[in-house]
Amino acid sequence: MFGTFQQSSLRIEVSASEAALRKSLANPAQYSRWIWFERFSSGLPDAVHPGLTFTSWAGAIAIQHQVETAEPNRVRFLLSQGIDGFHEWAWGDGWVQSRIEGISVLPIRLGQTITLLSLKQFLTTTP
């Protein structure tokens, strides 16, 4: 894999309940509604489960996601292709945390920041 090793952990406050965060983060069918800068495989299910695999594209770069862990307040994806590493989400009432590590040519921290801000915006504008 080409690129550099990158790691980042960000936690933000959001005006959203744990249930609203779970609906957005543990429901792959919802991802394209708030991660506007990536395209996703078609036919994504309504819930993550260990072993689920799907692909997203950041421009021309494919990123494969395999669900390693799916818990009520946490999801962890193993990443391959465009990013070799993992992305872990955790959440609760009023907060969400994203931790990502991997080797990539993509600017991982920038993508992570945009994703978190996009999620926050989505949650404030969606009833």
pLDDT at 1 over 70: no
Helix (H) or strand (E) holding 112: helix 108-125
The rounded percent of the chain whose pLDDT value lies above 90 is 94
Amino acid at 113: T
Crossing angle (nearest 10°) for helices 18-25 and 108-125: 130
Which pLDDT value is given to residue 78?
98
Which pLDDT value is given to residue 2?
81
Rounded distance, CA 38 to CA 34, Å? 9
Phi-psi region of 59 (alpha: psi -120 to 50; beta: other; left: phi over 0): left
pLDDT at 127 over 90: no
State the average pLDDT for the chain: 95
pLDDT band with cut points at 50, 70 and 90 for residue 65: very high
Which pLDDT value is given to residue 126?
80
Q: Which domains does the chain have, with CATH numbers?
A: 4-125 (3.30.530.20)
